[in-house]
Structure 1
Amino acid sequence: MSRDLGNSTGTPAPPLAHRVARPAWRDPRLWFGVLLVTGSVVAGARLLAAADDTVSVWAMSGERGAGSPVAVGDLVAQRVRFADEAAMERYFSADEPVPDELVLVRAVGEGELLARSAVGPADEEAVLRVPLEVDPNRVPPDVAAGSVVDVWVTDGSSPDAAPAEAGKAGADQDADQDADQDAGQDAGQDAGPALSGVTVVAAPAYDDTFAVTGARQLVVAVDDERAAEFEQLLGALQEPVIRILQRS
């Protein structure tokens, strides 16, 4: 007796069950990834914005003294972060050129931001141009327009210097003249620098002035008060000798 184990004529076998896939947009892992990427982008944008929270303002490329004209070639742009807008308004934005015909009303150091309070109109500033005649050996050879210098003054007729005409000084002078001479010598000995941190506004080439005077000519910018004091000092000395020391 045999038994048929097949199912060739019976009820067909049921199909295999398949798991229904969840749509990708409903996957919480997708949304978590989107949130992570979005948060990273926002955080990065904020960091970049904070790192670039600066403005560009004009600064001096070199040291300049009072009376120096503000020239484009003397300015460099620097990026600075200000605490508030009011502080930023005190300086010149590098997005715009500095107005023409401005001069410094005080000394400004190299790299210092150009403050609006440090400049004024050239026609309103009480600045005089004082010419100096200096022995070429008493002035650095690279002094030029824009250099900042100290001007030292001594009396060439002092005992430490060779007298111009030995044996004649004071022969015919009265007591008042002797007193003036002593005061002048004391001023010459104590003077120095007679002018500090002044700017050279003109420096003709040595060859242009030597043939006429035998000296190097410099023109410095000095305010009215110091210019008057300087002229009084020179007038009090018998033989004023000027020496130039260069700052920049």
Structure 2
Amino acid sequence: MGRRDTTTRPARRVVVRRWRDPRLLAGVVLVVGATALGARIVVGADDTVEYWAVSDEVRAGDTVGPDDLMATRARLDGASGEAYVRVEEELPERLDALRWTVDLAPGALVGRDSWAAGDASRGHLPVSVQTGFLPPDLGAGDLVDVWVGPGPGEATDLPAVRQASGLRVLDAGTSETLGASVTRTVVLDLGSQTLGGEQIAAIASGHVTLVRVP
């Protein structure tokens, strides 16, 4: 039998490479994850745009004031984003020359059709209309054509004549009893239109029908 080698060999040290240390790997994963999440949040924040919103309730027909507006950030895509007014944009008119065309609740974004030029120097036309000769759900902001023609019981051989077109409703009025009929006084914004004396006389004395238009 051969002789056993009784020489004591030095013990090998187990070397743990630091990059394989589970704790180090977990730390790296956490750092990478946090970095990716932070980058995503930053990218998301960069996608938001400042839009105008209303700070309080506004009503159609009222003049737009600086206190009505506040800037708010939102992320809107495509046509949705184009439908609202950005803070960076130039307004179509000075604020006191704009009027609200719709009612808006606090915090609502201002759409491009939410206001229109209509300063106080422009005319307002009050029109008395019998119930049944205007849309029952007519409201502020609607556009109407004003027709004048024969009333109930009058000769019908005369055609109705359109005296004004595309006027915006500022106040749809409330129903009132006038004699045997129920009427509403509707206030219309003439905008840039000018009515002649004959047109105004016809509207004031004739039988008026309001036709809502797109």
TM-score interval (norm. to shorter): 0.5 to 0.7
**Contact 1:195/1:230 (<8 A) preserved:** no
Determine what percentage of the aligned residue pairs are the same residue: 14
Q: State the partner residue of 2:136.
A: 141
TM-score normalised by L of structure 2: 0.57
- Per-residue deviation, residues 164-202 of structure 1 (Å, max 9, x unmatched): 9x9xxxxxxxxxxxxxxxxxx78x44x27x231503235
Do the aligned partners of residues 119 and 20 (structure 1) sit closer, same or farther apart at CA in structure 2, a change above 3 Å counting?
farther
Deviation at 1:138, TM superposition (A): 0.9
Deviation at 1:76, TM superposition (A): 11
Deviation at 1:119, TM superposition (A): 6.2
Residue in structure 2 matching 1:37, options 27, 30, 37: 30
| Aligned mates of 1:39, 1:103 — CA distance in 2 | 51
- Report the structure number with the largest CA radius of gyration: 1
Query: SS at 1:215's partner residue?
Result: strand
Do the aligned partners of residues 232 and 135 (structure 1) sit closer, same or farther apart at CA in structure 2, a change above 3 Å counting?
same
Residue in structure 1 matching 2:199, options 217, 233, 237: 233
Residue in structure 2 matching 1:132, options 127, 130, 135: 127
Deviation at 1:136, TM superposition (A): 0.9
| Aligned mates of 1:137, 1:74 — CA distance in 2 | 38
**Contact 1:156/1:241 (<8 A) preserved:** yes
Q: State the partner residue of 2:19.
A: 28
Residue in structure 2 matching 1:221, options 143, 167, 189: 189
Q: State the partner residue of 1:244.
A: 210
Residue in structure 2 matching 1:163, options 147, 155, 175: 155
Higher strand share: 2
Deviation at 1:50, TM superposition (A): 2.0
Query: SS at 1:196's partner residue?
Result: strand
Higher helix share: 1
Where structure 2 has 5 or more consecutive residues not aligned to the other structure, the ranges are: 1-5
The RMSD of aligned alpha carbons is: 5.1
Query: SS at 1:127's partner residue?
Result: coil
Where structure 1 has 5 or more consecutive residues not aligned to the other structure, the ranges are: 1-12, 93-98, 167-184
Residue in structure 2 matching 1:201, options 171, 179, 193: 171
**Contact 1:153/1:242 (<8 A) preserved:** yes
TM-score normalised by L of structure 1: 0.51
| Aligned mates of 2:121, 2:137 — CA distance in 1 | 28
**Contact 2:172/2:187 (<8 A) preserved:** yes
Deviation at 1:212, TM superposition (A): 10
| Aligned mates of 2:196, 2:75 — CA distance in 1 | 40
Q: State the partner residue of 2:3.
A: none
Question: Taking CA–CA contacts closer than 8 Å with sequence separation of 6 or more, which of the two structures ends up with the larger relative contact order?
Answer: 1
